[in-house]
Structure 1
Amino acid sequence: MMTTLTSSSFSLILQPLKPPKPSKISRLSKPKTLTLTVKSSSEPKPIKNPSKNAQKQKQPTSRNRRRSSYGTSRRSILKKTFSQEQVKFTAPISSDPQVGIIGGGMAGLLCALSLEKRGVKSTVFDTGIHGLGGRMGTRIIDPQPLVFDHAAQFFTVSDSRFGQLVNGWLKRGLVREWQGMIGELEVGGQFVPFLSSPPRYVGVNGMRPLADSLLAQTSLVNVVRPCWISKVEPFNGMWHLSENGKPRGEFDIIIIAHNGKCANRLLGSSGLPLIARQMKRLELSSIWALLAAFEDTLPIRGPVQFEGAFVKGVDSVSWMANNSKKFLSSQSNDPECWTFFSTAAYGKQNKVPQENIPTATAEKVKTGMLEGVEAALGLSKGSLPRPFYTKLQLWGAALPINTPGVPCIFDPHGRAGICGDWLLGSSLESAALSGMALANHIAEYLQSGGVHPEEFAVGLHNEFRPLEGHEIGQFPGLETKEKEESQTYQLTT
Structure 2
Amino acid sequence: MATFFATLPKTLALTLVSGSQSKPNPKKASSMQGQKPTPRKPRKASYGASRKSILKKSFNQEQVMFTAPLSDDPAVAIIGGGMAGLSCALYLEKRGVRSTVFDTGVHGLGGRMGTRMIDPQSLIFDHAAQFFTVGDPRFAQLVDGWLEKGLVQQWQGMIGELEVGGQFVPLPSLPPRYIGVNGMRPLADSILSQTTMVNVVRPCWISKLDPFNGMWHLSENGKPHGQYDAIVIAHNGKCANRLLASSGLPLVARQMKKLELSSIWALLAAFEDPLPIPFEGAFVKGVDSISWMANNTKKLLHSLSSGPHCWTFFSTAAFGKRNKVPQENIPSVTAEKVKEAMLAGVETALGHSAGSLNRPFYTRVQLWGAALPTNTPGIPCIFDPHGRAGICGDWLMGSSLEAASLSGMALANHIADYFQSGGARPDEFAVGLHNEFHPLEGHDIGQFPGLGSKEQMDEAQAYQLST
TM-score (norm 2): 0.92
Answer whether contact 2:260 2:375 (CA < 8 A) is retained: yes
Of 215, 226, 242 in structure 1, the residue corresponding to residue 192 of structure 2 is: 215
SS of residue in 2 equivalent to 1:327: helix
Per the alignment, residue 162 of structure 1 pairs with: 139
1:408-432: per-residue Cα shift (whole Å, max 9, x none)? 0000000000000000000000000
Which whole-Å CA distance do the structure 2 matches of 1:33 and 1:75 have between them?
Answer: 27
Equivalent residue runs for 1:145-184 within 5 Å:
145-184=122-161
Which whole-Å CA distance do the structure 2 matches of 1:115 and 1:420 have between them?
Answer: 16
Q: Could you tell which deviates more after superposition, 188-197 or 318-327?
A: 188-197
SS of residue in 1 equivalent to 2:193: coil
Equivalent residue runs for 1:395-406 within 5 Å:
395-406=368-379
Offset, 1:68: 4.9
In angstroms, what is the RMSD of aligned CA positions?
2.2
4+ residue runs over 6 A deviation: 33-37
Offset, 1:485: 1.9
Which whole-Å CA distance do the structure 2 matches of 1:428 and 1:201 have between them?
Answer: 11
Per the alignment, residue 12 of structure 2 pairs with: none
Letter matched to residue 147 of structure 1: I
Answer whether contact 1:139 1:149 (CA < 8 A) is retained: yes
**Distance change in 2, residues 1:32/1:328 (3 Å):** farther
Offset, 1:361: 1.1
Per the alignment, residue 95 of structure 2 pairs with: 118
Equivalent residue runs for 1:207-356 within 5 Å:
207-300=184-277, 305-356=278-329
Per the alignment, residue 21 of structure 1 pairs with: none
Letter matched to residue 491 of structure 1: L
Which whole-Å CA distance do the structure 2 matches of 1:360 and 1:233 have between them?
Answer: 41
Per the alignment, residue 365 of structure 2 pairs with: 392
Answer whether contact 2:298 2:304 (CA < 8 A) is retained: no
Offset, 1:479: 1.4
**Distance change in 2, residues 1:333/1:35 (3 Å):** farther
Structure 2 gaps, min length 5: 2-17
Answer whether contact 2:172 2:452 (CA < 8 A) is retained: no
Answer whether contact 2:106 2:202 (CA < 8 A) is retained: yes
Offset, 1:329: 4.3
1:200-226: per-residue Cα shift (whole Å, max 9, x none)? 111110011111221113110001111
Answer whether contact 2:293 2:314 (CA < 8 A) is retained: yes
**Distance change in 2, residues 1:155/1:32 (3 Å):** farther
1:209-268: per-residue Cα shift (whole Å, max 9, x none)? 111221113110001111111111101110000111111110000000000000001000
Offset, 1:195: 2.2
Which whole-Å CA distance do the structure 1 matches of 2:402 and 2:395 have between them?
Answer: 11
Which whole-Å CA distance do the structure 2 matches of 1:411 and 1:78 have between them?
Answer: 19
SS of residue in 2 equivalent to 1:115: helix
Q: How many residues align?
A: 449
Structure 2 residue 389 is the aligned partner of structure 1 residue 416: yes
Per the alignment, residue 489 of structure 1 pairs with: 463
Of 375, 388, 393 in structure 1, the residue corresponding to residue 348 of structure 2 is: 375
SS of residue in 2 equivalent to 1:122: strand
Which whole-Å CA distance do the structure 1 matches of 2:205 and 2:458 have between them?
Answer: 51
Offset, 1:102: 0.2
Offset, 1:76: 1.7
Equivalent residue runs for 1:6-45 within 5 Å:
30=20, 32=22, 45=34
SS of residue in 1 equivalent to 2:338: helix
Letter matched to residue 202 of structure 1: I
Offset, 1:492: 1.6
SS of residue in 2 equivalent to 1:279: helix
Offset, 1:270: 0.3
Answer whether contact 2:19 2:250 (CA < 8 A) is retained: no
Structure 2 residue 418 is the aligned partner of structure 1 residue 458: no
Answer whether contact 1:34 1:85 (CA < 8 A) is retained: no
Offset, 1:45: 2.4
Letter matched to residue 272 of structure 2: E
**Distance change in 2, residues 1:230/1:67 (3 Å):** farther
Which whole-Å CA distance do the structure 2 matches of 1:84 and 1:188 have between them?
Answer: 54
Per the alignment, residue 82 of structure 2 pairs with: 105
Letter matched to residue 291 of structure 2: S
Which whole-Å CA distance do the structure 2 matches of 1:119 and 1:90 have between them?
Answer: 22
Answer whether contact 2:70 2:229 (CA < 8 A) is retained: yes
**Distance change in 2, residues 1:99/1:68 (3 Å):** farther
Letter matched to residue 69 of structure 2: P
Letter matched to residue 426 of structure 2: P
Which whole-Å CA distance do the structure 1 matches of 2:466 and 2:178 have between them?
Answer: 30
1:422-451: per-residue Cα shift (whole Å, max 9, x none)? 000000000000000000000000000000
**Distance change in 2, residues 1:102/1:36 (3 Å):** farther
Which whole-Å CA distance do the structure 1 matches of 2:352 and 2:105 have between them?
Answer: 38
Letter matched to residue 418 of structure 1: I
Of 62, 65, 77 in structure 2, the residue corresponding to residue 85 of structure 1 is: 62
Offset, 1:77: 1.5
Offset, 1:362: 1.0
Offset, 1:371: 0.2
User: How many percent identity over aligned positions?
Assistant: 75
**Distance change in 2, residues 1:36/1:190 (3 Å):** farther
**Distance change in 2, residues 1:34/1:263 (3 Å):** farther
Letter matched to residue 336 of structure 2: E
